[in-house]
């Protein structure tokens, strides 16, 4: 399903000049490319092939036309490829009997927009002034611009936005048209899912998450950023409130905060991508009913906002990659023994689950993740043998514990989960 959303942009005066600069540079490229295109004989190939040939000349062009280096590459490519679309549209008009002549050069006022394809832009719902969002555009006259955007309806996740077209209308107002492409793959039928392709995830205490495959994903280390933030905030408090130095420093502080937000977001997206592409079903606790049920909430509260955010992101990636993301009843997931079900109280400092009844011993978060996993299996209706997974031996033992650092997630994206420990066990 594809659709487009149009949002009003509120560039500053300086930003407007920069956007106009790109618009005009891209227009000149379009005119140049059209000239080159017209010199290629029709016998040389289809319209698309000939346009592609012209597009291939962009890198050489940059050697002498240095302004092109200050425009994002897909914006340049899109401008050239627009020729093919325009030629085809012209052909349609001709066939319909219109006297349209040939494709014309574009005068400054005729060329109103430029398009980022796939990359080079980012959408953030909240970071703009006055409650507005931000559309970040790369390489606008060589600079990255954070353009305020009014997101008057729920904004799409920017991983779904395929193209972002920046457009100036005749009144001089700027808009962003976001083309959304959502190909939601079918989620597998629960009856067809292999138990081994499912995972339960628990909110870790020391780690960010701990899963039923006994994998602990570490927390993102932002201590350097936090130190920097404190330093910049101290600087800010020394400036005279409202002075131009204060205003400058305020922007520095905002920039550091934004970088931290982006790092957290990037980490969660990569982790969610990894889980939803490796597994067919991911089970998590339903946090909405969680707080009333467990006594050890305080230690977790500080991380809960991040965890809720992660579940939202996880669901989003689940839809995108055809992976079930199911929330389960969180009651007693920490207390109950995964092997025998006997409940024991565990203060926060007790890191290990050691069952007084059956003797099962593992990390406390691993035990909880196993409980989440089993509840998920039965809620979703994944068929597994009569006995519990633990008894059939499909559950992972405490010895299989693996630690994955947050930086490994950020740097490698999905490969950190590519080989689930269970698969490794089968081979070994
Ligand atoms: Zn037990």
Q: Are 314 and 325 in contact (CB under 8 A)?
A: yes
Lowest mean pLDDT among 39-48, 103-112, 144-153, 378-387: 378-387
H/E run at residue 55: helix 47-55
- 207 Cα: distance to centroid of ligand 1 (angstroms): 24
Percentage of residues of the chain with pLDDT beyond 90: 51
Query: Which one, of 414, 298, 396, lies nearest residue 347 by Cα?
Result: 298
Distances in Å between the alpha carbon of 138 and those of 119, 134, 146, 323, 330?
9, 13, 9, 32, 43
Q: Is residue 291 pLDDT above 60, yes or no? A: no
Cα(354) to centroid of ligand 1, in Å? 8
**pLDDT computed for residue 320 by the predictor:** 81
Task: Put the strands of the sheet holding 121-124 in their side by side order.
Answer: 113-117, 161-168, 174-181, 2-9, 143-150, 133-140, 121-124
> Could you tell me the distance, in angstroms and rounded to a whole number, from the CA of residue 350 to the centre of ligand 1?
16
Give φ, ψ of 161 to 5 degrees: -85, 120
Stretch (H or E) spanning 26: helix 13-39
Average pLDDT taken over every residue of the chain: 84
Which band of pLDDT confidence, cut at 50, 70 and 90, is reported for residue 423? very low
Arithmetic mean of pLDDT, 342-348:
86
User: Average pLDDT for residues 367-379, to the nearest whole number?
Assistant: 95
Answer whether residue 12 shows pLDDT above 90: yes
The whole-angstrom separation of Cα 370 and Cα 214 is 9
Sheet (strand 402-404) strand order:
324-328, 281-285, 198-203, 209-211, 215-217, 402-404
DSSP string computed for 198-214: EEEEEE-SSSSEEETTS
Model confidence at 416, pLDDT cuts 50, 70, 90, reads low
Q: What are the phi and psi torsion angles at 107 (to 5°)?
A: -80, 160
Q: How many CB atoms lie within 10 A of CB 342?
A: 13
SS3 at position 271: helix
Over residues 71-75, the mean pLDDT reads 95
Q: How does pLDDT run across 211-244, given as a tens digit for each residue? A: 999 999 999 999 999 999 999 999 999 999 989 9
Indicate the pLDDT class of residue 338, thresholds 50, 70 and 90: very high
C-alpha–C-alpha distance, residues 137 and 6, integer Å: 16
Which of 251, 264, 166, 271 has its CA nearest to residue 210? 271
Q: What is the mean pLDDT of residues 299-315?
A: 77
Q: 332 C-alpha to center of ligand 1: Å? A: 14
Using an 8 Å Cβ cutoff, are 51 and 80 in contact? yes
Neighbouring C-alpha atoms within 13 Å toward the C-beta of 273: 14
Question: Phi first, then psi: what are they for 155, rounded to 5°?
Answer: -85, 150
The DSSP secondary structure of 58-112, one letter per residue, reads: HHHHHHH-GGGGGB-HHHHHHHHHHHHHHHHHHHHHHHTT----SPPPPPGGG--
CA of 101 to the centre of ligand 1 (A): 83
Nearest CA among 182, 419, 400, 378 for reference residue 281 = 378
Asked if the model's pLDDT at residue 116 lies above 50, the reply is: yes
Distance (Å) from CA 361 to ligand 1 centroid: 8
Residue 386: pLDDT band (50, 70, 90) is very low
- Which pLDDT band holds residue 421 (cuts at 50, 70, 90)? very low
Q: How far apart are the CA of 336 and the centre of ligand 1, in A?
A: 8
392 band by pLDDT with thresholds 50, 70 and 90: very low
Ligand 1 centroid vs 339 CA: distance in angstroms? 5
- Local confidence band at 184 (pLDDT 50, 70, 90 cut-offs): low
Compute the distance from residue 171 Cα to the ligand 1 centre, in Å.
72
Average pLDDT on 81-86 reads 91
Residue 348: pLDDT above 80? no
H-assigned helices in 134-285:
223-238, 244-278
Could you tell me if 271 and 408 are in contact, meaning their C-beta atoms sit under 8 angstroms apart?
no
Ligand 1 centroid from CA 343, angstroms: 8
**Using 50, 70 and 90 to split pLDDT, how confident is the model at 425?**
very low
Question: What pLDDT score does 233 carry?
Answer: 95
CA distance 178 to 159: 11
- Token look-up 């650092």 returns 405
Alpha-carbon gap, residue 255 to 250, rounded angstroms:
9
Q: Residues 191-213: pLDDT tens digits?
A: 889 898 999 999 877 789 999 99
298-321 helix and 244-278 helix, angle to the nearest 10 degrees: 60
Q: 370 alpha carbon to ligand 1 midpoint, in Å?
A: 13
**What pTM was computed for the model?**
0.56
């Amino acid at each position: 399903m594809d659709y487009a959303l149009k949002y009003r942009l509120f560039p500053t005066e300086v930003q407007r000049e920069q956007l106009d600069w790109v618009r005009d540079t891209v227009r000149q490229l379009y005119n140049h490319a059209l000239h080159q295109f017209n010199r290629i004989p029709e016998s040389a190939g289809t319209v698309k092939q000939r346009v592609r040939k012209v597009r291939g000349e962009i890198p050489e062009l940059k050697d002498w036309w240095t302004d092109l280096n200050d425009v994002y590459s897909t914006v340049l490519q899109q401008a050239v490829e627009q020729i093919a679309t325009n030629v085809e549209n012209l052909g349609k008009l001709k066939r319909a009997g219109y006297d349209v002549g040939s494709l014309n050069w574009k005068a400054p006022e005729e060329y109103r927009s430029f398009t980022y394809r796939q990359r080079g832009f980012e959408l953030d719902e909240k970071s703009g002034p006055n409650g507005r969002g931000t559309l970040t555009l790369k390489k606008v006259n060589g600079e990255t611009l954070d353009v305020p955007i009014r997101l008057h309806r729920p904004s799409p996740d920017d991983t779904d936005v395929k193209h972002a077209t920046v457009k100036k209308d005749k009144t001089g107002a700027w808009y962003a048209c976001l083309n959304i492409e959502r190909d939601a793959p079918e989620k597998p039928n629960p009856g067809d899912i292999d138990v081994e392709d499912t995972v339960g995830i628990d909110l870790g205490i020391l780690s960010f998450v701990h899963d039923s495959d006994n994998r602990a994903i570490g927390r993102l280390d932002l201590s350097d950023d936090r130190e920097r933030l404190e330093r910049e905030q101290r600087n800010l408090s020394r400036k005279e409130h409202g002075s131009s130095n204060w205003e400058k420093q305020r922007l520095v502080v905002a920039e550091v905060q934004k970088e931290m937000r982006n790092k957290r977001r990037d980490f969660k997206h990569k982790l969610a991508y990894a889980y939803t592409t490796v597994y067919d079903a991911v089970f998590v606790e339903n946090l909405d009913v969680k707080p009333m049920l467990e006594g050890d909430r305080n230690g977790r509260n500080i991380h809960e906002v991040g965890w809720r955010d992660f579940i939202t992101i996880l669901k989003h990636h689940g839809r995108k990659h055809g992976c079930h993301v199911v929330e389960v009843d969180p009651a007693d997931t920490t207390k109950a023994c995964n092997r025998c079900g006997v409940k024991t109280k565990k203060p926060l400092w007790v890191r290990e689950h050691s069952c007084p009844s059956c003797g099962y011993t593992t990390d406390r978060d691993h035990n909880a993740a196993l409980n989440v996993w089993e509840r998920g299996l039965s809620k979703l209706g994944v068929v597994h043998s009569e006995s519990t997974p633990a008894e059939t031996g499909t559950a992972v033992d405490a010895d299989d514990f693996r630690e994955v650092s947050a930086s490994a997630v950020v740097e490698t994206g999905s490969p950190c989960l590519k080989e689930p420990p269970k698969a490794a066990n089968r081979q070994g």
